[in-house]
Amino acid sequence: MSLLRERWRREHYLPSLLGLIVNPFYFARRGLRDELGRHFPALTGEVLDVGCGCKPYRALVPATRYVGLDVDNPFTRKVAAADVFYDGGGFPLPDESFDAVLCSQVLEHVFMPDKFLGEIHRVLRPGGRLLLAVPFMWDEHEQPHDFGRYSSFGLRALLERDGFEVIEQRKSMADFGALTQLASAWLFKVVQTRSKRVNLTTQLLLIAPINVLGALLRLVLPRSEDFFLDNVVLARKRTQP
């Protein structure tokens, strides 16, 4: 049973083709895995995972030391695999103490992004790298702590304003996968119940066929760089104005 739970958990964050059947957020998670995965080799040395949750990408990052940081509340205390908790303000970490920072799907929950990015800048060593993922199209979630969506231009401007140089910026699921994911996420949200059995039935009978059809159509339909799920950016700490 533990092996089954572990496989289920893996399909949630790092989906294989099986995720088309069992994961209502297959396209979002697959897009993040693929785009973040391009840059994981750059996250070497001492790495800080900001908003780490259950550290789903830990095994993919070649860090010599990997530290998870998450906000301190009753929910994260139960589910997060954080090594350090903080109050949502300053990070309780020394200046220039990390070679790289990973921050995935967190910035949209930050009401003061300049202060937040300033803290990341502070704990990075000179030339340190930031791998950042943030939604462009997604539903309101983790309400009421959902504060922003970022276009590619807005995110670049924000990073450059707060002391970072953008090395590479990519868009996940800039194709029919984005539409498919929005449809699956909408259906998941409106039909889910407290019954795991009912939710699984809904997943298999309603959402899985949509996912499979979307996976086929995205192979033949054109991309659109203006219509995508997530921004994924690799940036470098700029030490000079």
Block means of pLDDT (10 residues each) for the chain, 241 residues, are: 70 89 95 96 97 94 97 81 91 97 97 97 97 96 92 97 97 97 95 86 93 97 96 92 59
Sequence-distant (≥ 6) Cβ neighbours of residue 116 within 8 angstroms = 107, 110
**Do 169 and 85 share a structural domain?**
yes
At 4 the pLDDT is 66
3-state secondary structure at position 49: strand
- Tell me: do 77 and 1 sit in the same domain: no
The structural domain count of the chain equals 2
The pLDDT score that the predictor gives to residue 128 is 97
The verdict on 100 and 1 lying in the same domain is no
Same domain, 168 and 122: yes
What residues make up the domain containing 169? 40-173+230-241
In this structure, are 235 and 123 located in the same domain? yes
Question: Are both 157 and 112 inside the same structural domain?
Answer: yes
Asked if residue 33 and residue 132 are part of one domain, the reply reads: no
User: To 10 degrees, the CA torsion angle through 152, 30, 79, 92?
Assistant: -40
Q: Are residues 105 and 123 in the same domain?
A: yes
What phi and psi, each to the nearest 5 degrees, are found at residue 218? Answer: -70, -15
Longest pairwise C-alpha distance within the chain: 56
Please, which residues have CB within 8 angstroms of residue 218's CB and are 6 or more apart in sequence? Answer: 175, 176, 177, 180
Instruction: Give yes or no: residues 179 and 81 share one domain.
Output: no
Task: Based on the fold, state whether residues 28 and 66 are members of the same structural domain.
Answer: no
| Same domain, yes or no: 101 and 22 | no
Record the pTM: 0.93
CATH code of residue 52 = 3.40.50.150
Are residues 47 and 149 both part of a single domain?
Answer: yes
